[in-house]
Chain A
Amino acid sequence: MIEFQAVSGGYPDRKVLREISFSVAKGSLTALIGPNGCGKTTLLRTAARRLSASGGRILLEGRPIEEYGRKEFARTAAFLPQNRSVPGITVRALVSHGRFPYLGFSRRLRAADRAAVRRALEITATGDWAERDLRELSGGERQRVYLAMALAQDTGTILLDEPTAFLDLYRQFELLELLRRLCNEGKAILIVLHDLALALQYSDQLVLLEQGRMAAVGTPEQIVAQGALDRVFRVQTHRAEGGYWFSPAQREGQKGSLEDGGTEKNLD
């Protein structure tokens, strides 16, 4: 699990995050949402120690993240950044890289490492491609393979930055179903999602950021009920059977208001 306590931070010349507090419990999926540039990725990178916080603290399994050793941290939290290169290596070689924090000085894979790689390939159903070149795979397939690498890290917490980007809809569902299964197995997952409908549908908790501050935190139902999405994203949220959909908010001065729950009659 990972806990944010009044975290502020950003870049040396630009403070992005202000006083962010929430926690991601074991076995739950939290989605970070917010308009472009609100600090979602910055927050995730801070949690992954790619950036350092200027205030507050982040606890991983109850311990401040800066107290972890480099490899120890990688054995406790996995981070999948959005920008990744696609080297010409096999799927198995990539997934095996997930075992790096467990390797000794000789950097050789032991039996336990091989077993973890096998398990990760199995869970993500990527075993059939194990000997294929990463570059031959489609974007969705690669995404799953990268997730397999993170799983091979065998961490309790997984941080993912927009893993559904560039995937077609079916693959997005597939990926999120897989993440849900991992949660059920006890992982704590923090994920940056661009797609609100998916975030509402699949997460246990939503953290809504607006200009580096927390605009709202809670279950999807709570967030919708507060009307926070409507305000921050300037949309109207509509509940439909089994999910949500959105329409643009009406311009100021027009009839029909933002805080009006969002039903069919508000649509032009």
Chain B
Amino acid sequence: MRILPRFYIPTLPARSAKGRAAVLLGLALLTLLAVLLSLRFGSQPISASQMLDALRTGDEKSVAYRILRYMRLPRTVAGLVAGGALALAGTLIQAVLNNVMASPNVIGVNAGAGFAAMLAVTLAPSAAALIPAAAFFGALCTALFIYLLAVRAGLSRTTLILAGVAVSSILTAGIDTLTLLYPDDVIGATGFMLGGFSGVTLDAVLSAGPYLAAGALLAALLAVDLNLLQLGEESAASLGLAVGRVRFAAILAAALLAGAAVSFAGLLGFVGLLVPHIARRLIGTDNRWLMPASVLAGGSFVLICDLAARMLFAPFELPVGIVMSLLGGPFFLSLLLRRRKRSGIYD
């Protein structure tokens, strides 16, 4: 019995280099479209001519310019970057744990980043630059903890996810405690918990920039090595892959990316889970293609969700996290229901 609709995603990924390039190009165009839409539309209607005027004159006093420059531009950049970073982090974590059910959100990496970021805010309210560092550190600790659980305790895939959920809920409880104890320091905590981009500044995104760049670079360097992990640990090692080192580096990259994204976007759920799945369906499991596809798909997905969050009940605005969970939740459920027994993460 099918209770949920199938998602209309092609089941056969593109196999030829040409096909993959076409998919990547399509995703790039989609991303471009999402960026333009995100700049063009919002709760405040601005006509196209007003926009062009504002851009041409750069008049600080015009409302259109200020909305564009201080509201929509930071928001668009933040959405694009956070979506791409979380999707890439999800791809990395799924590869390292060899588990499709894993994502930065599911195994508590986002919550770890969020908890550490909030701790930093309460301990040193004036040092905003500390937030990305703290978020990265929290993400890394959580990811390493889950990874060591998987390796040392030899947890099965399902148990690992459950352990992640437990860790995640402990950390979320920590965040809630901080919110209650220090309400003045962590204004906007609800928005942070749900994830969203209202009030995000370009500065916040920029201060996360080095972490994002380092994470993305590391991920790119690991693409082929992570492909080998698909063969299973034993085969990968016998081909000369330093399995432990590669896994550690990939976790580091995922923590850099997820921590940086959480530091300005809050606890965005489901991007890191849902997007790698869609990207894998479109382009296959080769990380050299899958990673850029995940980044583009993640960025455009978050931008489109954010646009919906701004427009649906305008002038009221939903945090984008709610919109994404509304979309991501059913997807995750259908994934659980349709999962067939297959080895490896590549269903």
List residues of chain A with CB under 8 Å of any chain B CB.
48, 50, 70-75, 78-81, 83-90, 93-94, 97-98, 100-101, 103, 107, 131, 133, 135, 153
Contact = CB atoms under 8 A, between A and B. Distances in A.
B228 A50 contact: no
B231 interface: yes
B274 to A, nearest CB: 19
B234 interface: yes
A131 B16 CA distance: 8
B58 interface: no
12 contacts: A73-B240, A74-B239, A83-B232, A84-B234, A85-B344, A87-B346, A89-B285, A89-B286, A89-B346, A100-B240, A101-B240, A107-B225
Interface string B223-235: 1110110111011
Interface in B193-246: 223-225, 227-228, 230-232, 234-235, 237-242
Nearest to A153: B239
Chain B interface size, under 10 / 10 to 19 / 20 to 34 / 35 or more: 20 to 34
A74 B235 CA distance: 11
B138 to A, nearest CB: 31
Given A87-B285, A87-B346, A89-B286, A48 B228 contact: no
Interface string B320-346: 000000000000000000000011101
A50 B234 CA distance: 8
Contact of A74 (B232, B240, B342, B346): B240
Contacts of B238: 48, 50, 74, 78-81
Contacts of B83: none
Interface string B261-297: 0000000000000000000000011100000000000
B13, B223, B237, B238 — most chain A CB neighbours (10 Å): B238
Nearest to B346: A88
B15 A90 contact: yes
Contacts of A90: 15
A70 B242 contact: yes
A97 B239 contact: yes
A98 B232 CA distance: 14
A89 B239 contact: no
Contact of B230 (A71, A85, A101): A85
A103 B224 contact: yes
A93 B286 contact: yes
Contacts of A70: 240-242
Nearest to A69: B240
Given A103-B224, A107-B224, A131-B15, A85 B237 contact: no
A133 to B, nearest CB: 8
Given A100-B240, A101-B240, A107-B224, A88 B284 contact: yes
B150 to A, nearest CB: 16
A86 B15 CA distance: 17
A133 B285 CA distance: 11
Contacts of B284: 88-89
B17 to A, nearest CB: 11
A85 B225 CA distance: 16
A107 B342 CA distance: 29
A85 B231 contact: yes
A237 B225 CA distance: 48
B346 A97 contact: no
B23 to A, nearest CB: 15
A100 B228 contact: yes
A100 B239 contact: yes
B15 A97 contact: no
Nearest to B234: A81
Contacts of B13: 88
B228 A81 contact: no
Q: Which 9 A-B pairs have the closest CB atoms?
A: A74-B240, A87-B230, A71-B240, A107-B224, A101-B240, A88-B346, A79-B238, A81-B234, A85-B344
Contacts of B230: 85, 87, 89
B343 A98 contact: no
A97 B231 contact: yes
